[in-house]
Amino acid sequence: MSNIYYSYIATDGFGSQYQKIIESYICCKYNNKNYAYTPLINIEHNYNNDPNYASRLEHLINIKDNIINTNDKMDIKYINVNNDLYTKHIRIFFSNNIDTLCESEHMKFIKDCFWENKERNFFKNGKINVAVQIRRENYMDRGGAGERASTPNIYYLNIMNQIRKNNGDDLLFHIYSQGDISQFKELENNDVVFHLNEDIIETFIGMVAADKLIISPSSFSYVAALISDGEIYYKPFWHNPRKEWIICG
């Protein structure tokens, strides 16, 4: 095991980077390869130009202090998001073996890191909490979000109504999105709380902590689903679902 693999940190958003870290770490460990962690550097969607954005997200995923970090004395083989090692090996291997890998001790490590510095009872309300992530276009997408951000509100409402039908009155839905409340009129209800344009940290913890999570075709909510222990409602897109996830059309 002479080579040490680590996740190349791209300049895309948090969800995508965290997903690549998880995939790379688990695939390396599962295949008996050494892995060293490279701390987060450049992360898109820092809307407030927060100088502590990367360090706050490090604290969120809580991997840096729980694993060996890269240094200049290591023999490192890069896992670059654009090279064959990642696209033809890491991503495909993870996708094809998603259930086995997500049930492994290595995913347990990722989850344990995440929850080590947080309280699992995030909502503290005694309700069945349902997180709904609705991906919408923002100015940093530069018009490139495409179909990921165009799923209509009625799609989410239909799933919410089915959950209401099956679970009674102890539900509280948390809508996590961006934009103005006027864009979500169809979803307003006494059992709905809107979390629009809120801090990424609280948003992500809420999605992972929820009893049920309705995801968008987005890495941000997809990776939350990967480390969630809740019931997942999945909209098909280019990342494969777990076998127990509920597939929604």
Q: Tell me the mean pLDDT in the region 73-87.
A: 70
Query: Chain-wide mean pLDDT for the chain?
Result: 88
Higher per-residue pLDDT: 2 or 66? 66
Number of domains in the chain: 2
Residue type at 178 in one-letter notation: Q
Residues 6+ apart with CB under 8 A from 71: 36
CATH number at residue 199: 3.40.50.2000
User: Which residue bears the tokens 């941000």?
Assistant: 220
List b or e across 81-109, with b for residues whose CB sees 16 or more CB atoms inside 10 angstroms.
beeebbeeebbebbeeebeebbeeebbeb
User: For residue 80, is pLDDT > 60?
Assistant: yes
Mean pLDDT value across residues 33-49: 87
Which of 116, 138, 165 lies at the terminal end of a domain, its last residue?
Answer: 116
Quote the pTM value.
Answer: 0.90
Mean pLDDT on 140-150: 52
Q: What is the pLDDT of residues 196-249, one digit of tens each?
A: 999 999 999 999 999 999 999 889 999 999 999 999 999 988 889 999 999 997
Same domain, 61 and 136: no
Same domain, 142 and 86: no
Domain interval for residue 75: 4-116
Tens of pLDDT, residue by residue over 165-182, are 998 789 999 999 988 999
Q: How far is CA 28 from the centre of its chain?
A: 20
Residue at which a domain ends, from 116, 136, 152: 116
Indicate if 140 and 88 belong to the same structural domain: no
Nearest to 226 by CA among 89, 108, 138: 108
Q: Which of 61, 94, 116 is the last residue of a domain?
A: 116
Beta bridge partners of 172: 129
Is 122 inside a domain boundary?
Answer: no
Q: Residue 98 contacts by C-beta under 8 Å, 6 or more apart in sequence?
A: 240, 241, 242
